[in-house]
């Protein structure tokens, strides 16, 4: 019976241990995403991932657009993040990622008004351009061989700190000695907390809780990393509050207010505080500010840097795509009025110019389709339900959405789904095609769609155009299929090492 069952099982099932051995093997082997993709292909898009039979560790795994549409839109009220998610992502505290119900509604409204404000978007672009000009370009000008992934990650950490806290920790300093970028306790603590979250996804709750009590293994990393992050964030919050107490805040008019960091905006916003479970959420309390600022830093740092890393890799592997992008930028620059033409400005395009880059936009979409910075997500059923695929979900059962696998399904993206083809995003009229979020789920779907989507596109396009216009990146490893990390963020396992040379236009 066991052998017969395995004949039809998408992942090998061991007695007592279920699919855990194969999962762990592919986790340490960095092939976890491929294992899920293969299993989803075999099963038509949905299967039950069986954990060890002596603990409740089963997951329904799906990448079926009909199921996703059902869970995120049609019957969204029945699906929550759930208790486990909050425990796994403990470092995020009560930030928006980790909450449901009233607290989520309150934070969503608050963040929506801040992040999607045109003046704030303009401020974000200004910070990004200045930081690129003052740090990133000088480093790339000097570098011959560089790990672009490491540089982008550090750069985005500084950029997000400026945007969120109004402070630059200089994780990517302009000057550094010995050709190696220096260590930074806070930046590294972010990485450690992410590793812990991945580990907690894999290992049964009782096991990591015990390790936490004993302060050993990965859980010791969690304790140490949380302490570093808390010191950093509470320190910044205290300083900002002191600034407020000692000097009159100049930004009473709406325009100035929207052009400051998010921490300041949280403090000056006049909106009412929220309510959750009958209690009042005070949005200026240290704990609420810590959780919100940390969430925003996490939301923007890795997603954008991972997206940009994959984009440079994809473009470097597709010379025809690179040629078309450069041609598009050349046309936009050529259309500038003479008084705005400045040789050194190069690929630094203004927001209205970035909007004209349809092919670059399609390239970003295609990169984020094949390499979604958040490769999987999970939710929990409040009540039992039947999915459109016919699978029954029990009460409190967890569902894993394999965003990475969606792009690799022929039924969804066609026979050429594995190919990197920006053209698939462009309509006959030359505009960007709209693809529903349950098919292009990189920014999630439904009411919980990412609040930084517009900003991310602008930032990735701005950096990509500036870098591709100014430099040629020659990859040291010509492997057309790079290994991916298996963590919460999809990075390149071996980094992105490239030789950098300036282009002569």
Instruction: Give, as one character, the DSSP assignment of residue 373.
Output: S
Q: What are the two backbone dihedrals, phi and then psi, of residue 355, each rounded to the nearest 5 degrees?
A: -65, -20
Stretch that binds ligand HEM, among 27-35, 186-194, 438-446, 470-478 (CB under 6 A): 438-446
* Cβ proximity of 426 and 321 under 8 Å: no
Task: Identify the H or E element spanning 255.
Answer: helix 254-258
Supply the minimum distance, in Å, between the C-beta of residue 503 and ligand HEM: 26
Per rule CB under 6 A, count of chain residues that contact ligand HEM: 23
- Among 91, 111, 139, 161, which residue sits at the site for ligand HEM (rule: CB under 6 A)? 111
The per-residue b/e assignment along 171-195, b for 16 or more CB within 10 angstroms, e otherwise, is bbbeeeeeeebeebebbebbbbbbb
* Cβ proximity of 136 and 145 under 8 Å: no
Contacts by residues 274-281 (CB-CB < 8 Å, ≥ 24 positions apart): 274/102, 274/103, 274/105, 274/106, 274/107, 274/110, 275/102, 275/106, 276/99, 276/101, 276/102, 276/103, 276/106, 277/102, 281/103, 281/106
- Among 49, 374, 399, 463, which residue sits at the site for ligand HEM (rule: CB under 6 A)? 374
Measured CA to CA, the distance from residue 439 to residue 433 in angstroms comes to 13
Measured CA to CA, the distance from residue 298 to residue 98 in angstroms comes to 13
CB nearer to ligand HEM: give 99 or 500: 99
CB nearer to ligand HEM: give 60 or 444: 444
- Among 19, 96, 229, 500, which residue sits at the site for ligand HEM (rule: CB under 6 A)? 96
Residue 19 binds ligand HEM (CB under 6 A): no
Measured CA to CA, the distance from residue 398 to residue 385 in angstroms comes to 12
Residue 486 binds ligand HEM (CB under 6 A): no
CB nearer to ligand HEM: give 407 or 451: 451
Q: What is the 3-state secondary structure (H, E, C) of 282-316?
A: CCCCHHHHHHHHHHHHHHHHHHHHHHHHHHHHHHH
Measured CA to CA, the distance from residue 479 to residue 457 in angstroms comes to 27
Burial class of residue 352 (count of CB atoms within 10 Å of its CB; 0-12, 13-18, 19+): exposed
Supply the minimum distance, in Å, between the C-beta of residue 451 and ligand HEM: 4
CB nearer to ligand HEM: give 166 or 300: 300
276 is in an annotated binding site: no
Residue 444 binds ligand HEM (CB under 6 A): yes
* Cβ proximity of 358 and 423 under 8 Å: no
Supply the minimum distance, in Å, between the C-beta of residue 299 and ligand HEM: 4
Burial class of residue 115 (count of CB atoms within 10 Å of its CB; 0-12, 13-18, 19+): buried
CB nearer to ligand HEM: give 111 or 393: 111
Residue 261 binds ligand HEM (CB under 6 A): no
Residue 304 binds ligand HEM (CB under 6 A): yes
As separate numbers, helices (DSSP H) first and strands (DSSP E) second, the chain gives 21, 12
Residue 124 binds ligand HEM (CB under 6 A): no
- Among 318, 398, 448, 470, which residue sits at the site for ligand HEM (rule: CB under 6 A)? 448
Residue 35 binds ligand HEM (CB under 6 A): no
Supply the minimum distance, in Å, between the C-beta of residue 98 and ligand HEM: 8
Instruction: Give, as one character, the DSSP assignment of residue 93.
Output: T
Query: What residues from 282 to 301 belong to the interface with ligand HEM (CB under 6 A)?
Result: 296, 299-300
Stretch that binds ligand HEM, among 108-116, 137-145, 410-418, 468-476 (CB under 6 A): 108-116
Supply the minimum distance, in Å, between the C-beta of residue 151 and ligand HEM: 17
CB nearer to ligand HEM: give 403 or 409: 403
Supply the minimum distance, in Å, between the C-beta of residue 38 and ligand HEM: 23
Residue 161 binds ligand HEM (CB under 6 A): no
* Cβ proximity of 455 and 115 under 8 Å: yes
Residue 274 binds ligand HEM (CB under 6 A): no
Residue 72 binds ligand HEM (CB under 6 A): no
Supply the minimum distance, in Å, between the C-beta of residue 302 and ligand HEM: 9
Residue with tokens 């071996």: 494
Helical segments of 166-216, H only: 185-202, 205-214
The closest alpha carbon to 30, from 504, 492, 496, 498, belongs to 492
CB nearer to ligand HEM: give 100 or 273: 100
Residue 108 binds ligand HEM (CB under 6 A): yes
Query: What residues from 376 to 415 belong to the interface with ligand HEM (CB under 6 A)?
Result: 377
Supply the minimum distance, in Å, between the C-beta of residue 6 and ligand HEM: 33
Annotated binding site for heme: 450
Residues contributing to the site for ligand HEM (CB under 6 A) = 96-97, 108, 111, 115, 296, 299-300, 303-304, 307, 373-374, 377, 442-444, 448, 450-452, 455-456
């Amino acid at each position: 019976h066991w052998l017969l069952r395995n004949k039809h099982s998408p992942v090998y099932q061991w007695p007592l241990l279920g699919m855990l051995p194969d999962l762990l093997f592919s986790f340490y082997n960095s092939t976890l995403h491929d294992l899920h993709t293969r299993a989803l292909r075999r099963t038509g898009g949905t299967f039950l991932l069986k954990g060890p039979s002596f603990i409740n560790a089963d997951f329904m795994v799906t990448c079926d657009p009909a199921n996703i549409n059902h869970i995120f839109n049609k019957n969204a009220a029945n699906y929550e993040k759930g208790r486990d998610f909050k425990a796994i992502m403990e470092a995020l505290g009560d930030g928006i990622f980790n909450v449901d119900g009233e607290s989520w509604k309150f934070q969503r409204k608050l963040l929506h008004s801040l992040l999607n404000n045109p003046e704030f978007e303009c401020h974000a672009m200004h910070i990004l351009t200045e930081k690129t000009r003052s740090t990133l370009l000088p480093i790339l000008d000097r570098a011959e061989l560089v790990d672009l992934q490491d540089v982008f990650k550090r750069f985005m950490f500084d950029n997000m700190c400026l945007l969120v806290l109004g402070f630059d920790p200089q994780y990517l300093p302009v000057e550094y000695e010995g050709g190696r970028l220096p260590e930074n306790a806070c930046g590294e603590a972010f990485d450690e907390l992410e590793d812990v979250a991945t580990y907690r996804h894999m290992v049964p709750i009782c096991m990591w809780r015990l390790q936490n009590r004993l302060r050993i293994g990965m859980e010791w990393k969690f304790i140490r990393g949380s302490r570093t992050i808390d010191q950093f964030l509470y320190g910044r919050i205290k300083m900002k509050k002191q600034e407020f107490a000692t000097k009159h805040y100049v930004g009473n008019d709406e325009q100035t207010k929207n052009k400051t960091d998010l921490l300041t905006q949280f403090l000056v916003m006049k909106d009412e505080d929220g309510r959750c479970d009958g209690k009042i959420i005070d949005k200026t309390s240290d704990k609420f500010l810590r959780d919100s600022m940390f969430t925003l830093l996490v939301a923007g740092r890795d997603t954008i840097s991972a997206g940009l890393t994959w984009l440079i890799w994809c473009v470097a592997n597709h010379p025809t795509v690179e040629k078309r992008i450069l041609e598009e930028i050349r046309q936009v620059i050529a259309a500038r009025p003479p008084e705005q033409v400045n040789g050194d400005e190069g690929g630094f395009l203004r927001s209205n110019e970035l909007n004209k880059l349809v092919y670059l936009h399609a390239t970003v979409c295609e990169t984020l389709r094949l390499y979604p910075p958040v490769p999987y997500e999970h939710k929990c059923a409040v009540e039992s339900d039947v999915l459109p695929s016919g699978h029954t979900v029990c009460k409190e059962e967890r569902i894993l959405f394999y965003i990475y696998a969606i792009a690799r399904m022929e039924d969804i993206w066609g026979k050429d789904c594995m190919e990197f083809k920006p053209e698939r995003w462009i309509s006959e009229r030359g505009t960007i095609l709209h693809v529903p979020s349950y098919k292009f789920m990189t920014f999630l779907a439904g009411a919980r769609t990412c609040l930084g989507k517009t900003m991310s596109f602008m930032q990735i396009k701005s950096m990509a155009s500036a870098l591709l216009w100014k430099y040629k990146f020659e990859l040291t490893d010509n492997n057309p299929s790079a290994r991916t990390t298996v963590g919460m963020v999809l990075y390149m396992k071996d980094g992105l090492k490239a030789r950098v040379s300036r282009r002569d236009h």
